[in-house]
Chains A and B, each alone.
Chain A
């Protein structure tokens, strides 16, 4: 299923629920009821729709969201890889299954400045730790990798969590 088809499956009520909850649920005994009241919806509607969005993958998870930067994972390297397009899905699934990869995406190349089509975000306490992890991705990809780079972040200029704009 493509991202687009999932998007089309969301109606306006779903969108309002996502917009109202993505910045965090209120820390009150009945958080879904509070959201429902804010939106003028029935609590069962809010919970039922969130349950459905979890099932379809629109919502990945509901829970405590740690701030990894604050917790000491200060080094973050965006590792980027040039692999054959026909193999990218199989390789991407292998890389995405590594426990130190927080995000793994196929994105288009933008030649000549950007030859890479597979992105894997790697976090660690230091650049050395990130570099070790990137080396293990290189081992995993082996000859399928035609080139790679690691882009370390030097400054976080804005980070507000992925938000939908109402």
Chain B
């Protein structure tokens, strides 16, 4: 990244060097060992408590959504990307109905005739079909089902451009 900075864009607060090292360096390879945060601390030359406190601050400020596993889609259960063309005056209502399903984890409004896009991840294919069918029945609108055929990217985390 060309820019070097120490401010996170949400809170505008200064990101301290430890916080930054954790975000930049530990998006993958969290040790699968008894005390992973102590191992990280050892690598960074700080204490385990320092690492836990810094991760807690980053989480509390919303810089990190979590520390944990990123699960590949379609690996455990059944999932799809679905799209709907929703009349503008019904969009809020339909979006809320869709978001109301526990199985829906991403729901975006996008600028297109197909203006509502959401990811559905269900325990199995039957439940996935049931959710899509229910949404169609409850809204009277078609749901376009675009399941993953193949994934090509290698997810190594994502460089953060500090402001």
A residues lining the B interface (CB < 8 Å): 3, 6-7, 10, 14-15, 18, 21-25, 27-33, 43, 47, 50-51, 54, 57-68, 70-73, 78, 88-89, 92-93, 95-97, 99, 101-108, 110, 113-114, 119, 123, 125, 149, 151-166
Contacts and interface: CB of A to CB of B under 8 A. Distances in A.
Given A15-B76, A105-B150, A110-B146, A154 B109 contact: yes
Most chain-A CB neighbours within 10 Å: which of B10, B72, B109, B148?
B72
Given A24-B66, A66-B160, A152-B110, A105 B152 contact: yes
B42 interface: no
A162 B73 contact: yes
Contact of B123 (A72, A113, A165): A165
Contact of B70 (A43, A59, A101, A152): A59
Contact of A151 (B33, B37, B75, B117): B117
Contacts, number: 272
B146 to A, nearest CB: 4
A66 B27 contact: yes
Nearest to B64: A64
A80 to B, nearest CB: 9
- Please classify the interface of chain A as helix (H, G, I), strand (E, B), loop, or mixed, using the class held by over half of its residues: mixed
B157 A61 contact: yes
A103 B112 CA distance: 20
A106 B147 CA distance: 9
Given A15-B77, A66-B160, A164-B76, 19 more contacts: A3-B75, A7-B74, A7-B75, A21-B68, A25-B68, A28-B52, A29-B48, A47-B33, A50-B32, A58-B71, A60-B69, A61-B27, A65-B27, A66-B157, A96-B153, A114-B114, A154-B110, A164-B123, A165-B77
Nearest to A114: B144
A66 B79 CA distance: 23
Nearest to B10: A70
Given A63-B30, A64-B58, A158-B118, A151 B110 contact: yes
B37 to A, nearest CB: 6
Nearest to A157: B107
A22 B69 contact: yes
Contact of B117 (A29, A78, A101, A149): A78
A104 B74 contact: no
A158 B155 CA distance: 22
Contacts of B159: 99
Contact of A29 (B37, B114, B154): B37
A29 B47 CA distance: 11
Nearest to B73: A162
Contacts of B103: 165
Given A27-B56, A65-B66, A159-B106, A73 B37 contact: no
